[in-house]
Amino acid sequence: MKRIYFDHAATTPLDPRVLETMMPYLTEQFGNPSSILIEEGGIPHRAVGEARAHVAALIGASPDEIVFTASATESNNLAVKGLALANRQKGNRILFSDIEHYSITNQADFLTGMGFEIDYIRVDTNGLINLDDLRKKASEGTILACIMYANLEIGTIQPLKEAALILKERGIILHSDGAGACGTIPVYVNDLGIDTMTLSSHQFYGPKGIAALYIRKGVRLKPIIQGGYQEMGYRPGTENVPAIVGFGETSRLAMEEMGTRLEHLKTLSGRLWTGIDASIDFLHFTGHPTQRLPGHVSFWIEFVEGESLLMWLNLNGIASSSGSACASNLMAIDETGLKASHVLTAIGVPPEICHGSIAFSLGKNSTMEEVELVLSILPGIVTKLREMSPLYSKFKETQKGGM
């Protein structure tokens, strides 16, 4: 069966043009970029430099503000722990928005154990951070705030610029997890006024195992692993040259093609959105209706459980993702790992209802034909699952009784 991949929020396929640029560094150009005085090292060294320039250009930064890491999770850890440790003398309060990724939120225990105090910034029902709450919580002794740029579960894009202004006048550092945004939508760090930002290569057609942290010049940050002098000492360890080269190329392509990709994604997701809205009742879209990632359509459906819906879509050749508790952590060692998504509960979706949540995330290679196919398949699955649901039959009875 030909697959329809509508799960680009999880990861994207590697662009063949990107792979091509990586190949020499997986084969003949194997040298260590630190061995700069020998030919074997010189070529990879230059390639890393060029890639750094492409990644920097993608977000309007300068190359010496880019540090390569092995994952967005690592970048988020380097940022939060590194900034916290380097700025300790200024205070011990750290703010996380309520809808951060686990690679931010799960640092809370560690940081609390080190004497830091974590507070949370509320979001509204569309997933936008509450700026008044930010003003209130950005109090004396606060050194850092973490606000992601785009949320991959509900698609909402945060008003980072406004948040940055509030934080700047109080001398608070702003870290933004840009894994879901960079390479997909235009991101200009200087215009936004952020201090550090995470970028992830595999979120936009680059290889996995490579990410970056943008660190604005002058921002104090301590490395969290110790070793040699690679990445200006911020991130020691021999560079993953082929992945870095691929990250560079995918950044270059993203810049070059961003306009066309955005237009394409907006057309497709617009059709998907209106089609779903017209064909399924008791359906609720999640995230902000306009301030959202192009190509991202997320919703929950009453009387339909998310994992079952996801599995049926999959059996029909459609890949999607679900924020349902049951689908979120299927490999957990026991049921305590099953929790409704903290993002959905933060925007006010009742936990027992979070189970019906689904996100379709389209990519540059998605087609209108695929969108139409999904629109023709989804309603049938919803009907089938509702027929099985005791909640739905009860609801129908009360409807009848009420009329």
Partner 1 sequence: MPQGPYSDKVMDHFMNPRNMGEIEDANAVGEVGNPACGDVMRLYMKIENGVIVDAKFKTFGCGAAIASSSMTTELIKGKTVDEALKLSNEAVAEALGGLPPAKQHCSVLAEDAVKAALEDYKKKQGA
Catalytic (active-site) positions: 326
Q: Does the footprint of partner 1 cover residue 345 (CB under 8 A)? A: no
How distant is the alpha carbon of residue 162 from its chain centre? 20
Ranges within 2-21 binding partner 1 (CB under 8 A)? none
Q: Which of 17, 40, 300, 35 is nearest to 153 (CA)?
A: 300
Q: For partner 1, which is the closer residue by CB, 120 or 392? A: 392
3-state secondary structure of 313: helix
The single residue among 17, 332, 376, 380 that binds partner 1, judged by CB under 8 A, is: 332
Q: Is 200 a binder of partner 1 (CB under 8 A)?
A: no
Give yes or no for residue 401 binding partner 1 (CB under 8 A): no
Among 141, 233, 337, 348, binds partner 1 (CB under 8 A): 337
CB 318 within 8 A of CB 31: no
Q: Quick one: which of 2, 16, 169, 333 contacts partner 1 (CB under 8 A)?
A: 333
Q: Is 324 in the site for partner 1 (CB under 8 A)?
A: yes
Asked if 393 is part of the footprint of partner 1 (rule: CB under 8 A), the reply reads yes
Between 34 and 389, name the residue whose CB sits nearer to partner 1. 389
- Which residues between 271 and 310 bind partner 1 (CB under 8 A)? 303, 305, 307-308
The verdict on 389 binding partner 1 (CB under 8 A) reads yes
User: Looking at beta carbons only, is 225 or 388 nearer to partner 1?
Assistant: 388
Candidates 46-54, 179-187, 225-233, 330-338; binding stretch for partner 1 (CB under 8 A): 330-338
Report the residue from 80, 192, 325, 362 that binds partner 1 according to the rule CB under 8 A.
325
C-beta pairs of 369-375 under 8 Å, 24+ apart in sequence? 370/4, 370/6, 371/268, 371/271, 371/272, 371/275, 372/271, 372/275, 373/4, 373/318, 374/4, 374/6, 374/272, 374/313, 374/318, 375/271, 375/272, 375/275, 375/276, 375/279
Q: Judged by CB, which is closer to partner 1: 17, or 284?
A: 284
As measured in angstroms, the least distance from the Cβ of 303 to partner 1 is 7
Chain Cα centroid distance, residue 186: 15
Nearest distance in Å: CB 392, partner 1: 8
Structure tokens at 141: 């002794």
Q: Does 352 bind partner 1 (CB under 8 A)?
A: yes
According to the binding rule CB under 8 A, does residue 391 interact with partner 1?
A: yes
**1 scored as a contact of partner 1 (CB under 8 A):** no
Quick check: 28 binds partner 1 (CB under 8 A)?
no
Catalogue the E-assigned strands of 36-83.
66-69
* Contact residue for partner 1 among 147, 172, 192, 327 (CB under 8 A): 327
CA distances from 36 to 33, 39, 44 (A): 6, 7, 9
**Sequence-ordered alpha helix ranges (H) in 59-130:** 72-86, 102-105, 108-113
390 binds partner 1, rule: CB under 8 A: yes
The angle, 0 to 180 degrees and rounded to 10, between the axes of the packed helices 241-279 and 16-26 is: 160
> Which residue from 26, 70, 131, 326 is in contact with partner 1, where contact means CB under 8 A?
326
Q: How far is the CB of 327 from partner 1 (least distance, A)?
A: 7
Nearer to partner 1, 167 or 313 (CB): 313
- Comparing C-alpha atoms, which of 217, 2, 184, 180 is closest to residue 76? 180
| Single residue of 37, 334, 398, 403 touching partner 1 by CB under 8 A | 334
Give 6 or 300: the residue with its C-beta nearer to partner 1.
300
Phi-psi category of 182—alpha, beta or left, where left has phi over 0 and alpha has psi -120 to 50? beta
> What is the spatial distance between Cα 375 and Cα 221, in angstroms, rounded to a whole number?
48
The distance between the two most distant Cα atoms of the chain, rounded to a whole number of Å, is 84
Chosen residue from 16, 115, 169, 331 binding partner 1 by CB under 8 A: 331
Please tell me the number of Cα atoms within 13 Å of 147 on its side-chain side: 31
Residue number, 172 or 327, with CB nearest to partner 1: 327
Contacts 24+ apart (CB under 8 A), 368-373: 368/267, 368/268, 368/271, 370/4, 370/6, 371/268, 371/271, 371/272, 371/275, 372/271, 372/275, 373/4, 373/318
Q: What is the pairing mode between strands 283-285 and 296-301?
A: antiparallel
Q: Is 37 in the site for partner 1 (CB under 8 A)?
A: no
Q: How many residues bind partner 1 (CB under 8 A)?
A: 33
Is residue 367 near partner 1 by the rule CB under 8 A? no
Residues that bind partner 1 (CB under 8 A): 303, 305, 307-308, 311, 314-315, 324-327, 329-335, 337-338, 340, 351-355, 387-393
